[in-house]
């Protein structure tokens, strides 16, 4: 015989209304009560009915967040910010990773989530304007972070262009003229790397400084190891450089390690700057100058937009840019 | 009219068998084919039938991984390892966070996942022996990582005791006798912090070194900021110490920053060691001596056990301990 909500309420020693509130993810329920109700649901195997309810109402109280990878602290910290923001709406977040590869990102987009989740926060690295049609999924979706293109969905963006320009201007204002750039992806005309590289080149040009293309180092994966490798490559080339712009923070931290290990002084000999403002950037030696894209703002805004769409909002799609901040730290201005 | 698998196959230009293979998560399908099939499923709204299939077979091809938080790189890197290991079995991983709080961990355990996932990898920080009954959920589950207790589930464990003893012996062998320990949770008799602290105290006793309880600093959250705060507290106390054992790596990295900022030389004045071997530990200045709990081994073993349980294995529950490794780096042995 099918287990009813009334059975669960009796088992948990609460009213059926309370069981319903827990199942609908209402935030203002005592943790102890919620635990008791969920334990009763589990003990009685109320799953089938829950699933039936989901089929009927189409609501699960769960949203998905798809990011390239979690080993990059930027995305791990973004995920925790999204979990906190979703929690304020009584929503649980399930996180998926796509691997930062366009093919896999398209697969993730097309994955039939069906009744698993009510909505999707999606942070692609490799998709471009030609993939816009793929964004027409039936699951409500908000794009976040890394790309600038116009699609049929809401989009909360990192200010890649102005953020990069600010940090390059900062390096130029410190008197640096031979600014190497690491983490470039030469094949890609679109994507985060291309946007940040173009903003770097444009800023140099605005200052009348020639773009030193011989100081451009590509690095497929944006990890600490690639940052260290890029420095080895630059030094081996014999080219002179007085600053390194890393296209993200972990690349910068790998570069700092490689420079320090060779006795090259930061910032006296070479200044280093990154992009992301991950927690680690405040604790490295030297601390890292970087651009904060404002992940808390991005996560909160994206969750709010998604909640509106899940509630049936069909108004015109919005493109919002999060306010960035430049943090000048020891890696460019020294310890005092 | 209901969309059939045949409709999806026609739309995608493949055989119904290929559609079935994609839906069952078979690994050996060309990415391009998979994308096309998933796009066709999405375009035709094949969800309802997929969901019906899930209700019938009880399989989704998705497993959940519950970890305390992702901002701690150990768990982010563990998550990526689990995603890679699950991918080899054609499974997708959805990640949940619990917040490292016993109450919230119990809630996560009791959450009705129903037809959302086929199994659960669960990495608790705060649960203890008294919570064993809560592990009797109907979803197949494997515990990983952080705790030693005997329950009605498979368990892949970090070698907290031997790993901690190895790093404390290493500090003692370097001549350190006043070893401060940071990240202790005084109220807890169980849990990772307590296990590692007890192993530290036991090792000192084995060496005939008095346990310097005045050098014990508690830190509720295991973040870089708490590591830095712990050093400030130790220095303010006026107590002499020649080494710091941090109960995880990010605490150690926060401690290194706080010591360096005050001009205290590492390891000359104070040696520092951690636990986790996160990627950052190889790139910090100085690089960090730490214990590698072997997250790739833990993730692979846990996924394999879970896959067996999901396939109906009802044999006795197993408790496996992953082989740890000590990495002695600059923070205890210097740069040469």
- Residue A71 makes CB contacts below 8 A (sequence gap 6+) with A223, B73, B76, B77, B80, B279
SS3 B38: helix
| Fold match flag (A5-57 vs A160-293+326-333) | no
The reported pLDDT for the residue numbered B197 is 95
Residue A159 is classified by DSSP as -
Residue A43 is encoded by which pair of tokens?
Answer: 């003990």
Right CATH number for B5-56 from 1.20.1250.20, 3.40.50.150, 1.10.260.40, 1.10.3470.10?
1.10.260.40
DSSP B80-98: HHHHHHHHTTT-EEEEEE-
SS3 B242: coil
Asked if residues A109 and A121 have their Cβ atoms less than 8 Å apart, the reply is no
d(CA A82, CA B302) in angstroms, rounded, equals 27
The reported pLDDT for the residue numbered B49 is 43
In the sheet where A92-97 sits, what is the strand order?
Answer: A319-321, A154-157, A141-145, A119-122, A62-67, A92-97, B92-97, B62-67, B119-122, B141-145, B154-157, B319-321
Cβ–Cβ below 8 Å for A110 and B35:
yes
Least confident of A137-141, A194-198, B15-19, B23-27: B23-27
- Interface predicted TM-score (ipTM) of this complex, two decimals: 0.80
The reported pLDDT for the residue numbered A57 is 55
- List CB contacts (< 8 A) between B55 and chain A: 48, 51
Cβ–Cβ below 8 Å for B285 and A256:
yes
Going residue by residue through chain B (336 aa), what tens digit of pLDDT does each one get?
567 778 888 888 888 778 877 765 555 677 778 778 877 877 776 653 444 444 445 577 889 999 988 989 999 999 999 999 998 888 889 898 887 667 777 777 766 555 567 899 998 876 766 776 677 677 889 998 755 566 678 999 999 999 999 999 999 999 999 999 999 988 777 778 889 999 999 999 999 999 999 999 987 689 999 999 999 999 999 999 999 999 999 999 999 999 999 999 999 999 999 999 999 999 999 999 999 999 999 999 999 999 999 988 889 889 899 999 999 999 999 986
pLDDT at A28 over 70: no
The reported pLDDT for the residue numbered A148 is 54
Residue B134 is encoded by which pair of tokens?
Answer: 């809560």
CA of A173 vs chain B CAs: smallest distance (Å): 26
- Residue A203 CB neighbours (<10 A): 23
Asked if residues B145 and B156 have their Cβ atoms less than 8 Å apart, the reply is yes
Residue A97 is classified by DSSP as E
Residue B316 is classified by DSSP as P
Cβ–Cβ below 8 Å for B110 and A45:
no
Which one is predicted more confidently, A151 or A75? Answer: A75
- List CB contacts (< 8 A) between A31 and chain B: 103-104, 107
Which of B292, B284, B220, B222 shows the shortest CA–CA distance to B257? B284
- List CB contacts (< 8 A) between A32 and chain B: 103
Asked if residues B99 and B220 have their Cβ atoms less than 8 Å apart, the reply is no
d(CA A234, CA A212) in angstroms, rounded, equals 12
- Residue B240 CB neighbours (<10 A): 10
Average pLDDT score over chain A: 86
Reported as a single tens digit per residue, the pLDDT across A97-121 is 887 667 777 777 766 565 567 899 9
Q: Which residues pair with B216 in a beta bridge?
A: B181
d(CA B62, CA B83) in angstroms, rounded, equals 11
Q: What percent of chain A clears pLDDT 90, i.e. is strictly above it?
A: 53
Give the CA count within 13 Å in the CB-facing half-sphere of A40: 25
Reported as a single tens digit per residue, the pLDDT across A38-81 is 778 777 766 534 444 444 455 778 899 999 889 899 999 999 99
Which of A128, A125, A201, A196 shows the shortest CA–CA distance to A163? A196
The reported pLDDT for the residue numbered B189 is 74
Query: Could you tell me the residue ranges of all domains in chain B?
Result: 5-56, 62-158+294-323, 160-293+326-333
The CATH H-level superfamily of B160-293+326-333 is: Response regulator (3.40.50.2300)
Which one is predicted more confidently, A189 or A314? Answer: A314
The reported pLDDT for the residue numbered A188 is 75
Which one is predicted more confidently, A97 or A303? Answer: A303
The reported pLDDT for the residue numbered B52 is 45
Cβ–Cβ below 8 Å for B70 and A95:
yes
pLDDT at A231 over 60: yes
Nearest CA in chain A to B330: A261
pLDDT at A228 over 70: yes
pLDDT at A329 over 90: yes
Asked if residues A303 and A140 have their Cβ atoms less than 8 Å apart, the reply is no
pLDDT at A246 over 70: yes
The reported pLDDT for the residue numbered B75 is 94
Residue A290 is encoded by which pair of tokens?
Answer: 């970087």
Cβ–Cβ below 8 Å for B115 and A51:
yes
Residue A240 is encoded by which pair of tokens?
Answer: 């002179």
Residue B82 is encoded by which pair of tokens?
Answer: 């689990």
Residue B59 is encoded by which pair of tokens?
Answer: 């399989």
- List CB contacts (< 8 A) between A64 and chain B: 94
**CATH number of the domain located at residue range(s) B62-158+294-323 in this protein:** 3.40.50.2300
Cβ–Cβ below 8 Å for A69 and B51:
no
- Residue B326 CB neighbours (<10 A): 17
- List CB contacts (< 8 A) between A228 and chain B: 283
The reported pLDDT for the residue numbered B19 is 80
CA of A202 vs chain B CAs: smallest distance (Å): 32
Cβ–Cβ below 8 Å for A79 and B92:
no
Nearest CA in chain A to B226: A283
Cβ–Cβ below 8 Å for B95 and A51:
no
The reported pLDDT for the residue numbered A24 is 59
SS3 B257: helix
- List CB contacts (< 8 A) between A76 and chain B: 70-71, 73, 76
- Residue A295 makes CB contacts below 8 A (sequence gap 6+) with A74, A77, A78, A81
Identify which of A50, A60, A283 has the shortest CB distance to residue B224: A283
Cβ–Cβ below 8 Å for A116 and B79:
no
Which of B285, B290, B274 shows the shortest CA–CA distance to B327? B290
Cβ–Cβ below 8 Å for A80 and B97:
yes
C-alpha distances in Å from residue B236, one per residue of A102, B176, B226, B239: 52, 21, 15, 8
The reported pLDDT for the residue numbered A294 is 95
d(CA B69, CA B53) in angstroms, rounded, equals 33
The reported pLDDT for the residue numbered B110 is 66
Asked if residues A164 and A200 have their Cβ atoms less than 8 Å apart, the reply is yes
The residue ranges of DSSP E strands in B146-204, in sequence order, are 154-157, 179-184
Residue B289 is classified by DSSP as B
**CATH number of the domain located at residue range(s) A5-57 in this protein:** 1.10.260.40
Which one of A5, A70, A80 would you mutate to disrupt binding with B, by most B Cβ within 10 Å of its Cβ? A70
d(CA B234, CA B217) in angstroms, rounded, equals 8
């Amino acid at each position: 015989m099918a287990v009813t909500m009334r059975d669960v309420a009796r088992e948990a020693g609460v009213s059926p209304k309370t069981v319903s509130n827990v199942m609908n993810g209402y935030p203002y329920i005592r943790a102890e009560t919620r635990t008791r109700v969920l334990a009763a649901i589990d003990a009685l195997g109320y799953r089938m009915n829950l699933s039936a309810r989901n089929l009927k109402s189409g609501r699960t109280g769960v949203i998905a967040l798809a990011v390239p990878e979690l080993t990059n602290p930027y995305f791990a910290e973004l995920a925790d910010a999204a979990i906190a923001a979703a929690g304020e709406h009584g929503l649980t977040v399930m996180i998926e990773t796509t691997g930062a590869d366009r093919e896999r990102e398209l697969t993730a987009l097309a994955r039939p989530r069906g009744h698993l989740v009510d909505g999707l926060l999606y942070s692609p690295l490799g998709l471009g304007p030609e993939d816009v049609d793929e964004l027409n999924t039936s699951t409500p979706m908000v794009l976040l972070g890394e790309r600038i293109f116009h699609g049929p969905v809401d989009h909360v963006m990192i200010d890649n262009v102005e953020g990069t320009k600010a940090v390059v201007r900062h390096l130029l204002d410190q008197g640096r003229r031979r600014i190497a750039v690491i983490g470039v992806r030469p094949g890609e005309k679109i994507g985060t790397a291309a946007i940040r590289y173009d903003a770097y080149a444009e800023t140099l040009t605005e200052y009348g400084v020639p773009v030193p293309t011989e100081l451009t180092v590509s690095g497929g994966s944006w990890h600490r190891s690639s940052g260290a490798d890029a420095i080895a490559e630059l030094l081996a080339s014999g080219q002179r450089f007085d600053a390194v712009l890393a296209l993200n923070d972990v690349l910068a931290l790998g570069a700092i390690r490689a420079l320090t290990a060779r006795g090259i002084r930061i910032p006296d000999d070479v200044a280093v700057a990154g992009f992301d403002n991950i927690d680690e950037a405040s604790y490295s030696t030297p601390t890292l100058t970087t651009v904060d894209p404002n992940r808390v703002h991005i996560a909160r805004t994206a969750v709010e937009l998604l909640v509106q769409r899940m509630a049936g909002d069909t108004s015109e799609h919005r493109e919002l840019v999060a306010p960035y901040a430049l943090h000048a730290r020891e890696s460019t201005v020294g310890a005092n």
